[in-house]
Structure 1
Amino acid sequence: MTRNFSSPHSIIYSQLTRLAQGSVGVAIAFTLAINPSWAGDPFRTSEPRKIGDNTEAAFKAVFQQGDYPTAERHLNQAISSESNEPLAYAMKASLAYINNDLAGLDNYGGKTLVTGQKLLATDPLRGNIYIAVGHFLEGAAIITREGTLRGAPQALSRLRQVYEYMDRAEAISPRDPELNLLKGYMDLMLSVSLPFANPDEAINRLQKNAAPQYLTNRGIALAYRDLRQYAQALDYSNQAIKAASDNPELYYLKAQILTAQGRQEKSQQLIREAIANFDKALTKKSQLPRQLVQQIERERNSAVNNLNSAGR
């Protein structure tokens, strides 16, 4: 399939890298929820893959508990004991991204690509998926190092390769949950950023073929938030919380939605609910990245100021 990214390429790639910043990277954002009965595979109930105990534990730490230090420890062990699993490298690269560790992003993004290429021989579906992820992470490194305008031409080339290998994976197994989760998130980032794009296809992909469910609900909530359809966004954020109630990032997402809805409807009650959710997220700030904590605190303070101004 041929895609034309030539016109809005800098917007596209900057919006895609926004996902890495907001959700700990494309690779992590699409890979979570643990169910031991799936033989260590967080996506598939049939033909599961064994990804490794430490990589699996890192999944659980990040996306069920929102515990980044614990995830980092498990990933350090995974790098030495599960060196053939590209997801471990992708997660390390994503953590490096949010920690402003450009050397780590370069290193582990490259290893994601190489390990995905090696996996082609035994698992072409996941091999193609993680070659795509590797190209994405390398593109994110280019944008981080060069800036959006200077880095856009190289990043655009990487983005084309991302979709080329995603298309190859889709030709192998169009209903694969891991593929559809990852591709659904990426398509949503494009659809909410470009005025001529329609998010319905991406939302439909997540609803019908992606897994795990709470990450699909999280992605759809993000999409509806950015589309300013706050009632739908709130519904999907609540569904995500129901499935992963220990994750403080989900309460942060809900707080963002309630804040935006409260301002739209001029509702002090919604703003109060938002502040309560910001506070709930911050009860676990010791396990979140520092920059994310600072962002939550800024948004909470803004909501409080909004409430105080409305009460005068």
Structure 2
Amino acid sequence: MATEMLIQLGILVFTLGIFYSIYNLPKRAFTRIRFKDRSDNQAHQHFIQGAQLLSRARSTRSKSTSLKFAKAAGGEADKALALDPRDPAALILKALVLDLMGHKTAALKSLDSALSPPGVKELSERERGDALFKRAELQVALNRRRRVASAVADLEQAVKLSPDNANAYCLLGRCYEIEGLKEEARRSLQHALKIEPDLASAREGMARLGPNCIV
């Protein structure tokens, strides 16, 4: 009799334990989701603040004030990355800040991370195109001759993803020119001038390629 009661009591405790687990599982899952959403929201707020500070850094004429805003923007990018280390938008923001501060090698590494999977999938085509253009720009600035092939690969993708980016077409034309591909260079510069007829760097490039090339 006592044995049967103990068995029944054990079954009851076990059953209550299962019901408790089933009841609390959705709650625990929801808590994790809410925590993740809260972290994402905080990271987004830091990104927005950093982007605003970067805009102020670029628009001011005072070098000291620009540097102050750039450092603050970098701090906001770091806070966003502390919450989500693979966030490509925050990595791109960090790269732009580093470039403005003259740290081009570090900026290039940050863009490499932003354009690597799986984070790159979170970027729109336009965002990816602009990031590829910026990476190519840094590659050319750091070592024009050695990195020009990598820059061309990035720019050929960039103009497909962002077909209205005149500066990307212009830099692609310059890279083709460096590689001795004059016809390809001319076509890229003509694309740039169709988008922005007064783009000085494109007109200068056409002039370098020879007479009768300016459209």
Query: Into which bin does the TM-score normalised by the smaller protein fall?
Result: 0.5 to 0.7
Structure-2 separation of matches of 1:142 and 1:246: 27
Root mean square deviation of aligned Cα: 2.8
Contact 1:206–1:220 (CA under 8 A) maintained in structure 2: no
1:1-312 equivalences in 2 (<5 Å)? 123-143=41-61, 151-188=62-99, 190-192=102-104, 197=105, 201-208=109-116, 209-210=119-120, 211-212=123-124, 213-226=128-141, 227-228=143-144, 229-259=147-177, 261-262=178-179, 267=180, 270-285=181-196, 290=198, 293-304=199-210
2:18 alignment counterpart: none
Structure 2 regions of 5+ residues with no counterpart?
1-37
Letter in structure 2 aligned against 1:276 = R
Contact 1:185–1:202 (CA under 8 A) maintained in structure 2: no
Q: What secondary structure does 1:123 align onto?
A: helix
Letter in structure 2 aligned against 1:304 = G
Structure-2 separation of matches of 1:247 and 1:155: 26
Contact 1:188–1:203 (CA under 8 A) maintained in structure 2: no
Structure-2 separation of matches of 1:156 and 1:186: 10
Q: Radius of gyration: which is bigger?
A: 2
Contact 2:74–2:97 (CA under 8 A) maintained in structure 1: no
- Count residues in correspondence: 163
Contact 2:169–2:189 (CA under 8 A) maintained in structure 1: yes
Structure-1 separation of matches of 2:131 and 2:66: 27
Contact 1:184–1:205 (CA under 8 A) maintained in structure 2: no
Percent identity, please: 16
CA drift at 1:220: 2.0
Structure-2 separation of matches of 1:251 and 1:200: 20
The 1:157–1:245 alpha-carbon spacing in structure 2 relative to 1, beyond 3 Å, is closer
Letter in structure 2 aligned against 1:240 = A
CA drift at 1:174: 1.4
Structure-1 separation of matches of 2:137 and 2:97: 12
Structure 1 regions of 5+ residues with no counterpart?
1-119, 144-150, 308-312
Which deviations, in whole Å up to 9, do the C-alpha atoms of 1:69-102 show, x marking residues without a partner? xxxxxxxxxxxxxxxxxxxxxxxxxxxxxxxxxx
Letter in structure 1 aligned against 2:188 = N
1:13 alignment counterpart: none
CA drift at 1:199: 5.6
Contact 1:214–1:244 (CA under 8 A) maintained in structure 2: yes
The 1:156–1:182 alpha-carbon spacing in structure 2 relative to 1, beyond 3 Å, is closer
CA drift at 1:166: 1.2
Contact 1:184–1:203 (CA under 8 A) maintained in structure 2: yes
Structure-2 separation of matches of 1:278 and 1:172: 42
Which deviations, in whole Å up to 9, do the C-alpha atoms of 1:42-74 show, x marking residues without a partner? xxxxxxxxxxxxxxxxxxxxxxxxxxxxxxxxx
User: TM-score, structure 1 length as denominator?
Assistant: 0.46
Structure-1 separation of matches of 2:169 and 2:193: 9
Structure-1 separation of matches of 2:161 and 2:172: 14
CA drift at 1:152: 2.2
Q: What secondary structure does 2:169 align onto?
A: helix
Contact 1:256–1:274 (CA under 8 A) maintained in structure 2: yes
